[in-house]
Structures are given as structure tokens and as C-alpha cells.
Structure 1
């Protein structure tokens, strides 16, 4: 549990697919870019050191309910619910694709920080290094970012593709309509004079900001509670104060990837077509689903659409259902 101040790089591919803009597809893998600094406290039975989990229970009777007797509903009015069948929920799911589909390019400073939600690293796969670098450098040179839609584990996300060092970072965004307006809050007016701020007060505030200004270093801003708990854990572990707990197996899986072929011609075709997206029929049969960074490479059929068709639909989570059985866990 040694801590050198840096979270290790995650090399486990969470998702495989392609970045798409115009007719160009770049095969990429998605990798976790964050590591939680919170402390997870698991519930354990002190008599046997076995994990303690939850049960599906009727909140009125307190009795455990069989999975077959649970339906999913959304509260429409106070105490009144609309019940949805698994088939109705499945039909509403976005079509599963393996594409980060860029819909528009924006100036990098146009997206407010309040919309940023979760970052992921992308990395090129299968001879996609050149076209990956091309998009990264073009975004850097133009000071643009790409706004895209992507489906991850059956859930559709809005995202922004941002060049950062040698990587393209995919940062999930909150959807339009999810950020609440601040207009009804009692906020002071814009402009210092309108807010009643004196010139001397502004001068002192600016000086204080200047005195406290420093270069960004993430290690200067650490979770102090987590650091203290980790020190305590190290101390108790070194003293042999450790309990053996039954491990719970976890499922793992990896979606299929995408191929890439012939970069230059598809860039030209994208420009000639005004950057239009390929038609649904072509996307379905893989007709324009791949490009290559190597002009001499042989064409190969795209795997993206096929992989999407084979992926089984997963059931939607209930809007307000009781939690499934799992190890009790609390995050500080």
C-alpha cells in the first residue's frame, strides 16, 4: 500500500472502438484516468470476518422479496408510479456502438467547467498511431476540442475529446438540461462598482491573489483524511493486526475492437462531403467504418458494427429500485 504520490497508470482496456470524425475512424482503447482517494469501509461480521451484504426488502413489511416479484417503476406523481416492463426499458436504450462519434468542434475554452464529469485516457490500437497523432496535433494547433457521443456499458454519454500532452482525453460531460440555472439565487450583480466594491478593496484582493498564485501541481492538493487513514492502516498492518476476509469474485469482460484503413483518401472525401457522417446503411455493413495510417495497407472489413450486433442488450437499472445483494460498502 506504499504511496509515492502518483497513481499508477491503468493499462486495462475498459472499452475498445474508434474515434470518428467525417469518414475517418481511429481505433482506440479507453483507459481509466482517475483513481479514487476516498476510503472504502466494508461491512464485516465481527464473529466470522465474512462480508455483510444487502437484501431486497419490502420497505413497508420489512420482508425479503424474490427477484421475480420486483418490477421497475418511475414516480410520476406523489405516490403514483408508471410501471415499465423490461422490454420497454430495453427498447429505449441507445443502440450500442463502438464509436466515439465527434459531432462538432468547439473552441477549447467554450465549455464551462461545470459540465465536466469524468476523464478517460484514449490510446491508439491496430496501426492507428499516425491518424491518432494527426487528430491530436490538429486539435492542439487549432485550439479546438471535439464534442462527441459515446455508448459505454449501454449508457449513452456526451463527451469532449481534448488533447493533453501525448494523449487524447475523453472527458464525459453532463447533458444539456442537467445543469441547474443560478438565476433564482441571490447573487451580487456583475461589475465591481455595481456590487459596491471599492477600488482599494479590489486592489488588496488582486494583491492577495497575486501573492498566493503558484504553478499547478496536483500533489499539493491531497485528500488528507485518506492519507491519515492509510498511515493508520500501514501501522496496524506492520503490527500484524490484519484479518482474513472471504473474497467476492467479480465479473470481467472486454468488448470487441475496431479496424482502421486508408487515411488520406477518406480525409479528402470528408472535406468534399462537408464532413458528413456515413449513412446508417454504410455504417451497418462497415462500408466506411475504417481507415488506416498506412496507405499501403490492405483493406479489411470493419468489426465495429458486427461486434455491436453481437453484444447482448443489458437490462436497464431501476429508477428507484432497492439495491441488489452485494458487499456492504461505505465511502468516506
Structure 2
């Protein structure tokens, strides 16, 4: 696993009069397969405009194959049938595979959140899963395919909603081995310093209110946009209309579902994944019907 220690940014953490210089390092790396276009007649790389990068000539799409570089300058060609055989299937489900304690998931794995809303009369089972997770302090680890890409995700109760937060895969998160960090524990921090720091933190503490934190750059840009629009500098852009996606699903017999799940012998979730029911969701914000295990 790559660790990497190159500093991307240097600055400081500040609170009150405290100033802690820090450097930022990458904590994750993309591990997806990178398909390059190649001219199958000469194995020359092909640009996105179907231009042979060596000859500069445009080539027909029938002469383009997909290759994966495994060494510098060396490729293996993968056929469409071979890609299709291993391509993640679009199941339209959020498949819970394990439940873990909510405090067990490090923040470094979090990537992108989605709200999950019930559809097709699934409110009751949705509420049951939400309340069960909230009361047990658990979150669900699931796999989901969105826009043809499979993701690991965490299903987390948040007030009246369930939130699906896409996660990084385990081999995408780098270790801390290459960083020079002070050892855990008080170390050279004195009791007096720790006491004053705690006091400062308490004085600066308050409730979480997202309205207190605004993107000042965006605000200034939108003010400029409004000013220009009022001055008649706006232009009209027509967008093509799109058909709204259809949603389908089934009404769940919740009691029977729970009984069947419990009759599975109480096996760990990693061996017996939770039952799942498909429901279509938009590629950008999936809203998915859930069956609780």
C-alpha cells in the first residue's frame, strides 16, 4: 500500500491565540482501472478525438481497443466481453453486509453523502431501520452501484433521515507510516498547558449550526452575478428536457421479513448479507427503498 509523505499544503491550525503549523498530506488514492484507447493495428495510444498520438491521423472507432498499462509502456488489451463479465451489475439496491459501531468508522474513509428517502409505501420499514440503528448506535456497511461504479457505503441515521455516505475502499486509504507524528499521549505537554488548552476549547465551544459557516467566495461571486444580471448582461441558455425516471417497488410484509431474517440462525452479517429490495434512484442522489435485516 502506498503511503506517500509529500506535503501538499503548509499552514497552521489556529484557535484563539494558539497557532499550530501543519502540513497536509494525501490520505487517499484512487485505485480504479484506467482504460486507455489504443489503435489495435499498431498499439499506438489514441486521443479522445480518435487521433493516433504517434501518427496524428484520425482512426475509425472500430480500430480502437481498451488497454490497461501494467508496466511502463506495456499494455494488456481487454475485450468488451471480458469487461462486461466483471463489470458491477446495476442491482438498484443498497446491500447491507455488516453492522458496526458508529464510532468505529474513521472520518478519513468518508467521501460523499446522499440523503436516502422512502418511496413506494416503504415508510414503516424505513423508520424501523432508522430507529434500530439510532437506538443501538450502529451503522450499516453496504455496497451500492451508482452510475455504473460500485461503492462501499455507510448507512447512517441522522435525525429523521438515513444518510448514505460513500466510503473509500480499504486499499485507497494510506497509512500514517511515512509521517513524523508526535507519539500518542501527553508526551512533553505539561499539565498546566493541557488545562489552559482545555479551558480555551470550552470557551470556544458551541452548538453545531451550519448556518454559521458560509462560503464567502461563493457569496461574493453571486453578488457579482446579481449585479451583472440587473445591468442586463445576462444571457439565456436553453436546456434539453429530460424525462423523469420512473420508480417501482413493492409493499413489504415487515413482520414476515423479520421472522425470515431471524430464522437464518443468527449468522454474522458478513456471511449472510441483509436481504435487499431494489428501487431505482437518480444517479446523483439515490433515494432507495430498504429492507432491514
TM beyond 0.5? yes
2:130 aligned residue: 136
Distance 1:224 1:84 in 2: 47
TM-score (norm 2): 0.69
Q: Which runs of 5+ in 1 are unaligned?
A: 1-53, 278-287, 291-303, 308-332
Distance 2:255 2:95 in 1: 19
Aligned length: 227
1:271 aligned residue: 262
Distance 1:226 1:64 in 2: 42
Shift in Å, 1:58: 4.4
Shift in Å, 1:81: 1.8
Matches within 5 A, 1:290-301: none
Decide whether aligned partners of structure 1 residues 151 and 107 sit closer, same or farther in structure 2, where only a CA change above 3 A counts. Answer: same
Spell out, residue by residue over 1:67-125, the C-alpha distance to the aligned partner (whole angstroms, 9 max, x if none).
Answer: 44432222211122222122211111122212211111111111111111111111112
Alignment partner of 1:72 out of 66, 76, 82: 66
2:232 aligned residue: 240
Distance 1:64 1:223 in 2: 45
CA contact (8 A) 2:51 2:59 kept: yes
Decide whether aligned partners of structure 1 residues 66 and 244 sit closer, same or farther in structure 2, where only a CA change above 3 A counts. Answer: farther
Q: Which runs of 5+ in 2 are unaligned?
A: 1-47, 269-274, 281-293
Distance 2:56 2:244 in 1: 36
Distance 1:117 1:289 in 2: 23
Decide whether aligned partners of structure 1 residues 107 and 187 sit closer, same or farther in structure 2, where only a CA change above 3 A counts. Answer: same
Decide whether aligned partners of structure 1 residues 275 and 236 sit closer, same or farther in structure 2, where only a CA change above 3 A counts. Answer: farther
Distance 1:59 1:216 in 2: 53
Distance 1:252 1:81 in 2: 41
Distance 1:65 1:218 in 2: 52
Segment drifting more, 95-104 vs 55-64: 55-64
Alignment partner of 1:207 out of 169, 191, 199: 199
**Structure of higher RCO (CA pairs closer than 8 Å, 6+ residues apart):** 1
CA contact (8 A) 1:98 1:257 kept: no
Q: Report the aligned-residue RMSD.
A: 2.7
Distance 1:70 1:251 in 2: 31
Decide whether aligned partners of structure 1 residues 250 and 64 sit closer, same or farther in structure 2, where only a CA change above 3 A counts. Answer: farther
Distance 2:250 2:155 in 1: 20
SS of match in other structure, 1:259: coil
2:218 aligned residue: 226
Query: Given the alignment of the two structures, is residue 172 of structure 1 paired with residue 138 of structure 2, yes or no?
Result: no
Decide whether aligned partners of structure 1 residues 158 and 81 sit closer, same or farther in structure 2, where only a CA change above 3 A counts. Answer: same
Shift in Å, 1:240: 0.6
Decide whether aligned partners of structure 1 residues 69 and 240 sit closer, same or farther in structure 2, where only a CA change above 3 A counts. Answer: farther
Distance 2:118 2:254 in 1: 14
